[in-house]
A and B are shown apart, each in its own frame.
Chain A
């Protein structure tokens, strides 16, 4: 007995625990599980899948703490995870690339056990379980990449749902998955429930069964090895096979982290059902995607249902097609298996190569990347509103949709074109305007040309004027100490010949407001810009200069709803990002 009684106390506690829990026998059975012929790297894929599945569960739980499944919140919450939560980009990266790793490892594992004949009696049931688990892994991928509700997920799911709906009896299945006639809120909640509850529970249960059956029947050694040698060279699982498994899992994790750091999980622009988009599924579905391009018209079903269905049936039938008790797989299963794996790989490569040579695709892809970056920047700059809109992106989209861009663009074919809006409301643009209001990109090509004289004073004076004019909007100018001088310059430089006093309060007499030039009260502030968009021909804006019915001045936009007007104004006041 050692003088210190602690080890023995600890042992006594462990003994007591074991009498109650029986864990030692369980651990010993797992650790001593014999690996015939000794530990090998060929056996690592199954354990790596267990590890990857655990990793997906862990990262998934962490992601779920930041995710909100609805058409208004999904993109915003994923954007928040990616760009604001601690290591969100890394966790999302591991989860994103982890799904690819699961697919790759499934194929490697399946190929290894196929050629080792691990589907032969008495292991048929475990092969079948494995095939079902592979399908579940693919279902994980399909339900997972919709969840960010970005362009990629939205359009890929459109196609997947169309395929489902077009299959025999698929309409009901489509309704069940999609939750309604079109992709929307219920699609997200249902995909989310399937992805984080139904599939993990099912795959978890099947994994238990798969591992139990594996333990029951043991490792399947190479069919070419001599049984006596296998027996004599057998090693226990712990620590020999465990070490190899752990080394490989570490490599997998390293690759996932490296991909997260150097490539990163993509988050494309928010889903836009009305936009053009070069939709592609996740790479591991590209072979199915390519099939869809081959079959014309009524043969569509061959690509969507018949070929994938036959492939699954073949995999399930493998143990029945070759019922010998040992040896390498017979050619009648080996050849189709190789064709299946090789065919899928060839179709994947073909799809990638076709896209790489397709100029339209490359243009569309580049546009999607630009949109993604722009959505991110605008979300950072202007936030996301309760409707889930990236506020500044919505304004920019209205600028295009409502036809504003047909006049306010650099490349306009018409004789008359309106000022470029990039940098709207900024001091720099105001400074350029005071220096040369008739510059080509300002009012030089509008009926307002030659209506205002450039401010010819020294730079410092112009800067003071800019500071004061900026303060009229309610914003803080960059040099607030200059505003008083700016105000004095306004009064003393002839500005008041055309503009009324911007400091007049509401209720000013009409004669005080009859100046011809735009009313500068609240100049380039929210209400001022809003009024300008409502009716630029009103005397308070340009109507006093060119007459209210002059067709050359910006038309009124009575069609704009208050909400649209609000988005446009907010976008303008943010400097009209993306307008150039």
Chain B
């Protein structure tokens, strides 16, 4: 298969016909490639076009249950947040999308944080021993008011910001929140779009 250089025919200057044909061959092949790739690539890149479709806070309020469910002891409770969800082709009612960390500190006083870790998106839980919130993945640690707090054992606290507060309101004796996801890993709160 290896070409022997000594057998290469002497390089004649290419004829005009050959030159034209070469240019045409390259041009047609390029066009062919582009035409073949364009549509599949566009389909593959579809998510880029869709970014921002559902930006920002949810339009709807999500009920977390009767206010009486939450004793006024300031102790956090993890409450599942469900939403009617459309995921590509599938619409489903009442899908669990995450959990809220709810503390009731007075008759009509609540603090509500998202249970999505602002570090890298794991699921934050209440740590009764340390009276704080902890993330089981990378050991992020948050005080009950959601602010960053050092780990009791001195391990690094990798989270870039405190827990994300969720807007809440009381309606007909029920607690409702606006469920929002923010981009994890950043000091600022930018809603997922």
Chain A positions within 8 Å of B, measured between CB atoms, are: 70-72, 155, 158-159, 161-163, 165-166, 171-172, 175-176, 178-182, 184-186, 272-280, 289, 292-298, 300, 304, 360-361, 364, 387, 401, 403, 561, 563-564
Contact = CB atoms under 8 A, between A and B. Distances in A.
Contact of B69 (A155, A182, A403): A403
B183 interface: yes
B137 interface: yes
Contacts of B53: 181
Give the one of B98, B120, B139, B193 with max A CB within 10 A.
B120
B136 A297 contact: no
B17 interface: no
B78 A276 contact: yes
B119 to A, nearest CB: 7
B47 A297 contact: no
Interchain residue pairs A-B with the least CB separation, the first 8? A166-B185, A274-B96, A184-B87, A162-B120, A185-B88, A278-B136, A162-B121, A274-B80
Interface string B14-37: 000000000000000000000000
Interface in B148-193: 155-160, 181, 183-187, 192-193
B123 interface: yes
**Chain B interface, >50% SS class:** loop
A179 B47 contact: yes
Nearest to B155: A293
Contact of B93 (A70, A277, A563): A563
14 contacts: A162-B120, A162-B184, A166-B185, A179-B88, A184-B87, A272-B96, A274-B81, A274-B99, A289-B138, A292-B158, A293-B156, A295-B156, A401-B80, A403-B65
A180 B159 contact: no
Given A273-B97, A297-B160, A176 B45 contact: yes
A178 B181 CA distance: 15
Contact of B136 (A166, A172, A184, A277): A277
A280 B135 CA distance: 12
A116 B96 CA distance: 54
Contact of A277 (B89, B123, B183): B123
Contact of A274 (B69, B98, B181, B185): B98
Contacts of B186: 166
Contacts of B89: 185
B159 A172 contact: no
Contact of B122 (A159, A175, A296): A159
B158 A175 contact: no
A71 B125 CA distance: 25
B123 to A, nearest CB: 5
Contacts, number: 139
Contacts of B139: 293
B92 interface: yes
B158 A71 contact: no
Given A181-B192, A184-B88, A563-B94, A276 B48 contact: no
Nearest to B158: A296
A323 to B, nearest CB: 27
Nearest to A176: B47
B127 A360 contact: yes
A444 to B, nearest CB: 26
B48 A176 contact: yes
A237 B143 CA distance: 65
B92 A387 contact: yes
A185 B48 contact: no
Contacts of A70: 90
A298 B44 contact: no
Contact of A185 (B45, B47, B51, B87): B87
Interface string B68-81: 01000000001011
Contacts of A296: 156-158
B134 A360 contact: yes
Nearest to A295: B158
A401 B88 CA distance: 27
A166 B159 CA distance: 13
A162 B122 CA distance: 10
B7 interface: no
A298 B156 contact: no
Given A274-B81, A274-B98, A293-B155, A298 B160 contact: yes
A161 B183 CA distance: 10
B95 to A, nearest CB: 8
Contact of B121 (A71, A158, A278, A564): A158
Contact of A182 (B99, B125, B192): B192
A552 B51 CA distance: 52
Contacts of B187: 297-298
Given A179-B47, A293-B139, A561 B99 contact: no
B157 to A, nearest CB: 6
A163 B185 CA distance: 7
A568 to B, nearest CB: 13
Contacts of B48: 172, 175-176
